[in-house]
Amino acid sequence: MVYRDGDQELGEVAQHTRRRLLLGLGGAGALLLGSGIWWWRSQPAAHDQPRLTPAQAFAKAQSGEITLVDIRTPREWRLTGVAVGAVAIDMRREDFLTALEQHLGGRRDAPVALICARGVRSARMTRALAAAGVVNVMDVPEGMLGSASGPGWIAGNLPVARWEG
């Protein structure tokens, strides 16, 4: 733009303000996009496998009806402990399915329930295992820490054991 002597300063302020506004909106857009991605990643995957409450999972694990698998990371196990009666197998292991099959006695039809922190990873892994031929897999969607499904294992005052890994 062309400005006369006194108006030039005003014009520069207006351009500076427009840039700041556009950059601010760009930052807000990035924030909204980041929030959307976070929200999407925090949503449990839809599946049609059975779901158990933490209390049901604990009772079934104690009676030997299911193998309960805590699929969180060693860091998480150190922070909160592992659900009593659960087998701790980090879902990030390359040999996760092999390790799981060992705990199931090689039987892909043995009943197994998965628990994570808030039900997101257990839902995704439930789908993955069902697709891999594990035919009796269940999800504990409340997780250890609680989720939209409920208060979770720890808030439900269910026992945890210190992880000794």
* Number of domains the chain contains: 2
In a domain, 104, yes or no: yes
pLDDT exceeds 90 at position 119: yes
Same domain, 150 and 106: yes
- 143 torsion bin: left (phi>0), alpha (psi -120 to 50), beta (else): left
Question: What pLDDT is attached to residue 165?
Answer: 78
- Sign of the Cα torsion 72, 78, 80, 85 reads positive
pLDDT confidence band for 48 (50 / 70 / 90): confident
Q: Is residue 48 part of a domain?
A: no
Q: How confident is the model at residue 39 (pLDDT cuts 50, 70, 90)?
A: very low
Alpha-carbon dihedral of residues 10, 15, 17, 20, nearest 10 degrees?
-160
The pLDDT of 13-19, averaged and rounded, is 55
Residues 33 and 97 in one domain: no
Same domain, 83 and 154: yes
Domain that holds residue 4: 1-41
Same domain, yes or no, for 139 and 70? yes
Instruction: Locate 77 and state its tokens.
Output: 């196990």
Is there a single domain that holds both residue 64 and residue 132? yes
Looking at the structure, tell me whether residues 34 and 63 fall in a common domain: no
**Residue 97 lies inside a defined structural domain of this protein:** yes
Cα(91)–Cα(161) distance, rounded to whole angstroms?
19
Same domain, 89 and 153: yes
